[in-house]
Amino acid sequence: MRKTSFVLALLLAGQLTVLGQQTETVGKSPWGSDDEIGSLNLMSNYTRFEVLSQIKSGKTYDLSVDYFVGMPSFHSLGDPGYQYWLTHTPNGTAVDNPNGLGKAMNRKVSYTGDAISMYTHMGTHIDALNHFGLNGKIWNGFTPEKHLGDKGWKKTGAETIPPIIARGVMIDVKSSKGIFPENYRITVNDLQDALKKQRLKLQPGDFVVMRTGQAEFYEDANHYLDNYPGISLDAVKWLIEEQGTMLLGADNLSFEAFPPEREDNWVPVHTYLLAEKGVMFIEQMYLEELAKDEVYEFAFIAASLKLKGASGSPLRPLAIPIKSE
């Protein structure tokens, strides 16, 4: 019953169109001309409760990396890396006396404050639908001329992304396949093989996360950024169009691998998911603990910061094991 209604919704959404389409154009949302969240419309109180009620333990897996100066960053196009700085320190406060209360007070009350700055696509984060569009439009036809101000998009900004509670499935391609060639593109077969070994089937509405093992190198930015594997366009189309996946994730920098598969598009997986299909995804996740414990099925709970107008947002997702159906 439940799966049937999902599939219907997806069909309406045009998610299950014929594999191999070649024209690239922004999708029109089946959830209406005001829709800003695409496939996340598939969530409901019902779907959330279904997964929450299957939780079988209090063991919680933290799927986020740390934020630190020097962490990996998509910096090749000039984006700012992560910066952290102290705005107040115990000794500095005593020297500066910023509150005017004097040295004795500021020696007693030892104040530490700090600030950060960062590109929004750093660390474990979700891509909003406006991150990549096609031919001057984003998902559902919104345009920069009308909807892009100096403080970001008036439509599909990160503040519109709802908290996510869904069944999560990790496909541990790393464990299944071993070492990847440089810049390897993970295929449909790779996903199917891993799922078979894990004895798991995907369901419409799932959060599906692919493990490449790359997060093992997160502390060493050069290594992490170096020729990492990513998903192929076919594999991502299989997930969306045949499996009805609601949300995707991976543990590498950019989900897809470089160089791109299409000559006429430098990020074809990004534009396919965000602009054509209205499907978001989470990058730079930390999956090593899940893999070690062979936890492949879980309640996935994640809530990104509501950065108004933003093209992405950091979050710290959790996985809690559930009973298999």
Site for its own copies in 29-48 (CB under 8 A): 44-48
Using CB under 8 A as the binding rule, the residues of this chain from 136 to 165 that contact its own copies are 136-138, 144-154, 159, 162-163, 165
Binder among 2, 116, 227, 292 for its own copies (CB under 8 A): 116
Query: Which residues in 265-304 are b (16+ Cβ under 10 Å) and which e?
Result: bebbbbbbbbbbbbbbbbbbbbbbebbeeebbbbbbbbbb
> In the complex with its own copies, which residue's Cβ is closer, 47 or 180?
47
Q: Report how far residue 219's alpha carbon sits from residue 72's, in angstroms, rounded to the nearest whole number.
A: 8
| C-alpha separations of 89 from 102, 111, 145, 271 in Å | 15, 6, 45, 45
Total residues at interface with its own copies (CB under 8 A)? 109
Give the per-residue contact string, 289-318, with its own copies (x = CB under 8 A; - = no).
------------x-xxxxxxxxxx-xxxxx
45-52 and 2-12 are packed helices; what angle lies between their axes, rounded to 10 degrees?
Answer: 140
* Pick from 232, 165, 249: nearest CA to 192: 232
Binder among 11, 21, 32, 98 for its own copies (CB under 8 A): 98
Q: Is 102 in the site for its own copies (CB under 8 A)?
A: no
Q: Is 86 in the site for its own copies (CB under 8 A)?
A: yes
Amino acid residing at 1: M
- For the CB of residue 20, give the shortest distance to its own copies in the complex, in Å: 20
Choose one: 97-105, 177-185, 194-202, 234-242; the region binding its own copies (CB under 8 A). Answer: 97-105
Q: Report how far residue 205's alpha carbon sits from residue 201's, in angstroms, rounded to the nearest whole number.
A: 12
Q: Is 271 in the site for its own copies (CB under 8 A)?
A: yes
- For the CB of residue 85, give the shortest distance to its own copies in the complex, in Å: 4
Q: Find out whether 251 and 284 touch, Cβ atoms under 8 Å.
A: yes
- For the CB of residue 202, give the shortest distance to its own copies in the complex, in Å: 21
